[in-house]
Chains A and B, each alone.
Chain A
Amino acid sequence: MTTVTSVTRMAAVLASGSAMLLFSKVTFSTLVPMLVGIMLILLGVAIAYRPSSVLGLLIVLTASALASDVWTLTDIGGVLRATAAIYVPSLVMAWAALSCEPGEPHELRFRRRASARLLAMAAACLLSVPLFAVCVGLVLPTASMGVSTMTEMSVILLAAVAAVLVLTRQARSANNS
C-alpha cells in the first residue's frame, strides 16, 4: 500500500504555493508572509509537527486572500481563476499541512465517497454564483446585471453551508444503513 511521505507533502505545498504566487498580484507585503507561511508548513511537514504547519497554513491563506485579484464569480473566467488560484491550492495546502503528524505515515487510501462529496461541494460552491445569476436572469433579466459582491459572497456562503449540511446528512444515513 502506498504511503504519503513527507517529500510528497512538501512537493504538494511547493506546487500550491507556486500556483498561488503565479495567479496573484504579488507585492512585497504579501510575498514575505506567504514565503514565511510556506516555510513554516515545510518545517512542520519535515519534522512532523502539526502546530507549525497549521500556523503557516493560516498565514499563507490570509496572504493569498489579500494578494488574489479575483473580484467576481459571475463569469466562467473568474470561476476558473478562483479555482486555480485560491480554492485548489488552499485545499491541497490544507491537506498537506494537516496530515503531518508524529508516528507512522498514513496510507494513501482513495475514498470514493468522501472524494465524490468533496467534488460535489466544490462544484456547488464555485458554480453557485453563476447559477444564481442565470436563475435571476431568467426571472428578472434586468436585475441579473447588478449582482453585487456582497450578494455573491452571501450566495457562496449559503451554498457552502447548505452543501455541508446536505452531504453530511447523506453520509450519516449511508453509514447507518
Chain B
Amino acid sequence: MQTSPLGLVLLTACVAFALAGFLFTAVSWVIVCVAVLSMMAYARWRFAGELSGAKPLVEHEVLDRMAFAQEPVGIKVRVTNPGDETLRAVLRDALPEGSALGIGNNVVTISVPPRSVHSFTYSFIPARRGSHAVGRLTVHRTDAFGLFEHEEEADGGEVLNVHTRKESFDTARKIAGREHFEYSGMSRTPAIVLREFEFDGLREHQPGDKTRDVYWKGLSKTGQLMTKMYKKEGTLRTMIFVDCSRSMRLATGGMARLDHAVDLGLQLSNVLLSSFHPAGVATYDEVSVTGQAQPALGKHQFERITKVLRGTPGAIVTEESGPPPAKPVPDSGGANGNGANRAEGAAFLDAVKTVRFDKGRRSAGLGLEGIARDIIAHSKGQELLFIIVSDLVSSRDAVLATARLCQRTGNRLLVIQTYEDWYAPPPKEMDVQEGERLYDRLSEGIKLEGALRRAGATFLRVGPADTTARIVRSVRRGIA
C-alpha cells in the first residue's frame, strides 16, 4: 500500500497546519491537523480491510488455437471476486514484449460485486515468432477516499508459443501444389504411395499392352508400334534439421536466421509431403535435440511438424548500431555475452556444464550427430535424405560429422547454410578492416563447403531473400 498524490497533498497540509499552530501559538491549528490525520488513518485502516476482504481470482484464456506472428491473438480475462466486498480496481493486463494492442483494451476499470465474475476480451498482435508471456495482470486499487493506492500482480500467467507469420503457411500451401522435390536419380526405395510414374523408355509393342501406353507419335515416323515404359518414382524418407543455436537466434537489425530457417523447414516439409516423401523435422541447439517429429506420411504429419517448429525459441533482438557481433566460438555459443539476455546466457552456460565429455569426444546421442545416427539405425536400410538448415557456426563440426556418417551409410545430405553476413544489415562504412573480415569469413565458408562436398553432401548458401521455391528448383536442377 502506498500514499497517492492526493494523500501526499493532505499530509503536506497536516504539516503546514501543525507549523501554523506553533507559529500562531494556537491549539485550533493543531486540532485541524489531528482531524485530517485521523481521516487519513481511518482511510488506511478501511482500505487495509478492503484489501484483505476482496482478493480477486484471475483466469486467462487464449481464444485462438494457434497464434501467428503479426496476427491478432484473442485473450479473455475472467476476474472472480470471492469476497464480501465490491472489488473496484483498474486491471492492466501486460502485453507480451514487443507486441501491439489489437482490438479491445487491456486496461479496464472494473467494479465487481461480491461473489460475482467480470470478464473482458482484447487482442494483441505479436511482432515476432517465439515464446510470449501472457497473463501478467496487475490489479491497481485505490481506496474510497483516493488517499491510498495498492498495486499487486495477480497469480497466473502462461507462455504462449507464437508461430511464424501466416503468409509462410500460405506460401507452403501454394508451393506444395506447384513444386516437387525431386532429388537427382531414383531412390532405392519403391514408392509406397503411387502418385505418378517416371518415364523409363520405349520397347516394341506386345499384345496385352495398354492402349494408352502406345507411342502413337512414333507410329507415323517409324511405322512400328512402340510402347512407352514407366517405372515407379521412388520416395525418400526425409528429415529436416533446424539449428536453434544462439547464433541462429540473433537478429541484429535484420531478420533472425532462425525465423527464416523455421519458414524454410515448414515449407520444405509441405513440399516433400505433397510429393509423397515421408518427411519429419527435428530442432536442435548446442546441447541437445529440443523437438522431433519422425518422418512419416499422413494428413496429420504437417500438423506434427508445425507443432515441433512452434516450440523453437524466439529471436534475440540486439541493437543495430555497431558492427555485427563477432563469430561465436564453436560450442560456446552464448558465452560471448549479450547484455539484454544475461539470465538466458547463464542458463545456457549451466546447461553446457552438464554436458559430459568422454575422452575429448562428445557422448553419443547428443545433438545433431546423435539424432542422425539414431534415425539411420532405425531406418531398416531405407535410404534417407537429411536436410540441415544451419548457419554452421556452433554446429559446424556436428554437420561435418553427419556428412561423413551419411557418406559411410549411403544416405544423402543437403546442407542449407543461412549465411550470417547476408542477414546482417549492410555496414554504414566499408573500410579495409571490414572488407578483410568479410573476405575471411567467405573464404572460411568456401573451405567448409569444400569439405562438405568432399563428404558427398549437397550445399546451398542462402540469404533472407531466398525462398523455398528457389531452393527446391536449385536442388531439382542439380545447381546446388
B30 partner residues in chain A, CB cutoff 8 A: 152-153, 156-157
Q: Do B146 and A50 touch across chains, with their CB atoms under 8 A apart? A: yes
Q: Is the CB of B31 within 8 A of A87?
A: yes
**In the complex where A65-B29, A68-B28, A113-B49 touch, is A98 in contact with B38 (Cβ < 8 A)?**
no
Q: Are A90 and B146 in contact, CB atoms less than 8 angstroms apart?
A: no
Asked if B20 and A118 sit within 8 Å, CB to CB, the answer is no
B46 at the interface (CB under 8 A from A): yes
A86 within 8 Å of B (CB atoms): yes
B34 touches A175 (CB 8 A): no
Q: Using Cβ atoms and an 8 Å threshold, which residues of chain A touch B111?
A: 103-104
Q: Does B6 contact A (CB under 8 A)?
A: yes
B17 touching A65, Cβ below 8 Å: yes
In the complex, what distance in Å separates the CA atom of A83 from the CA atom of B403? 93
Complex contact A98–B43 (CB within 8 A): yes
Using known A-B contacts A50-B6, A118-B38, A153-B22, determine if residue A86 contacts B44 with beta carbons closer than 8 Å: no
Chain A contact residues, majority secondary structure: helix
Q: Is A54 interfacial (CB-CB < 8 Å)? A: yes
A114 close to B145 (CB less than 8 A): no
Q: Are A91 and B48 in contact (CB under 8 A)?
A: no
From the candidates A107, A115, A153, name the one contacting B27 in the complex (CB within 8 A). A153
**A73 proximal to B (CB < 8 A):** yes
What's the least CB distance linking B160 to chain A, in Å? 33
**Cα distance A66–B32 in the bound complex, in angstroms:** 10
Q: How far is the CA of A71 from the CA of B27 in the complex (A)?
A: 6
CA distance A164 to B36 in the complex (A): 12
Which residues from A are CB-within-8-Å of B321? none
Instruction: Determine if A171 and B31 form an interchain contact, defined as CB atoms under 8 angstroms apart.
Output: no
Question: Beta-carbon contacts of A103-126 to B below 8 Å, as 1s and 0s?
Answer: 110110101011101100110011
With beta carbons under 8 angstroms apart, the residue of A82, A109, A160 that contacts B28 is A82
Q: Is the CB of A114 within 8 A of B28?
A: no
Q: Are B6 and A150 in contact (CB under 8 A)?
A: no
Assess the A168–B45 pair: CB atoms within 8 A: yes
> How far, in Å, is B12 (CB) from chain A's closest CB?
10
Nearest B residue to A165 via CB reads: B41
Contacts of B43 in A (CB 8 A): 98
List the B side residues contacting A34 at CB < 8 Å: none
CB distance from B21 to the nearest CB of A (A): 5
Determine if A18 is an interface residue (Cβ-Cβ < 8 Å).
no
Of B34, B51, B145, which is within 8 A of A160 by CB?
Answer: B34
| Cβ B26 vs Cβ A65 within 8 A | yes
Measured CA separation A171–B43 after assembly (Å): 12
Number of interface residues of B (CB under 8 A): 42
Q: Give A111 to B53 CA distance when docked, in angstroms.
A: 12
Residues in B neighbouring A61, C-beta threshold 8 A = 13, 17, 32, 35-36
Max chain B Cβ within 10 angstroms of own Cβ: one of A65, A150, A152, A160:
A65
Provide the bound-state CA to CA distance between A157 and B6, in Å.
Answer: 22
Report Cα–Cα, A163/B46, bound state, in Å. 16
- Pick the contact of B41: A82, A103, A168 (CB < 8 A): A168
Query: CB-nearest residue of chain B relative to A51?
Result: B6
Asked if A86 contacts B35 (CB within 8 A), the reply is yes
From B17, B34, B37, B43, name the one whose CB has the most chain A CB atoms within 10 angstroms. B34
Determine which of A64, A125, A150 lies in contact with B34 in the assembled complex, contact meaning CB atoms within 8 Å.
A125
Which residues of A sit under 8 angstroms from B85, Cβ to Cβ? 109
**A contacts with B, residue count (CB < 8 A):** 53
* Chain B residues with CB below 8 A from A109, complex form: 85
The answer on a CB contact under 8 Å between B46 and A98 is: no
B39 at the interface (CB under 8 A from A): yes
Residue of A66, A98, A152 contacting most chain B CB atoms (<10 Å): A98
Chain B positions within 8 Å of A69 at CB level = 28
Task: Name B36's contact: one of A94, A115, A118 (CB within 8 Å).
Answer: A94
Once the chains bind, are A91 and B35 in contact (CB under 8 Å)? yes
With A and B bound together, what is the CA distance between A149 and B31 in angstroms? 12
- Name the A residues within 8 Å of B147 (CB-CB): 98
Asked whether, in the complex, the Cβ of A54 is within 8 Å of the Cβ of B32, the reply is no
Provide the bound-state CA to CA distance between A104 and B281, in Å.
58
A35 within 8 A of B: no
**Most interface-central of B27, B51, B111 (chain A CB within 10 A):** B27
| Closest A residue by C-beta to B142 | A101
The CA of A108 and the CA of B12, in the complex, are separated in Å by 29
Chain B residues positioned under 8 Å from A115 (CB to CB): 42
Chain B neighbourhood of A94, CB < 8 A: 35-36, 39
In the complex, chain A residues whose CB is within 8 Å of the CB of B44: 168, 171
- Are B41's CB and A70's CB within 8 A? no
* Cβ contact within 8 Å between B27 and A73: yes
Question: How many angstroms from the CA of A126 to the CA of B111 in the assembled complex?
Answer: 38
Are B48 and A117 touching (Cβ within 8 A)? no
Q: By the criterion CB–CB under 8 Å, are A114 and B34 in contact? A: no
B18 within 8 A of A: yes
Contact B146 A98 (CB under 8 A): yes
Contact of B144 among A99, A167, A171 (CB under 8 A): A99
B25 in contact (CB, < 8 A): yes
Q: Which residue of the partner chain B has the closest CB to A78?
A: B27
- Flag if B26 contacts A149 (CB, 8 Å): yes
Provide the bound-state CA to CA distance between A126 and B34, in Å.
9
Contact A71 B39 (CB under 8 A): no
Give 7 nearest A-B pairs by CB, closest first: A90-B35, A68-B28, A98-B145, A114-B45, A94-B39, A114-B46, A153-B30
Given contacts A61-B32, A122-B38, 13 further A-B contacts (CB under 8 A): A65-B17, A65-B29, A68-B26, A72-B27, A87-B31, A90-B31, A90-B35, A90-B36, A91-B38, A98-B6, A98-B43, A157-B34, A167-B45
Chain B contact residues, CB within 8 Å of chain A:
6, 9-10, 13, 17-18, 20-22, 25-39, 41-46, 48-49, 51-52, 85-86, 109, 111, 144-147
Mind listing 23 A-B residue pairs with CB under 8 Å? Answer: A61-B13, A61-B32, A68-B28, A70-B28, A72-B27, A82-B28, A87-B31, A90-B31, A94-B35, A94-B39, A95-B39, A99-B145, A103-B111, A106-B144, A114-B46, A114-B49, A117-B42, A118-B41, A150-B25, A156-B34, A157-B18, A160-B38, A163-B41
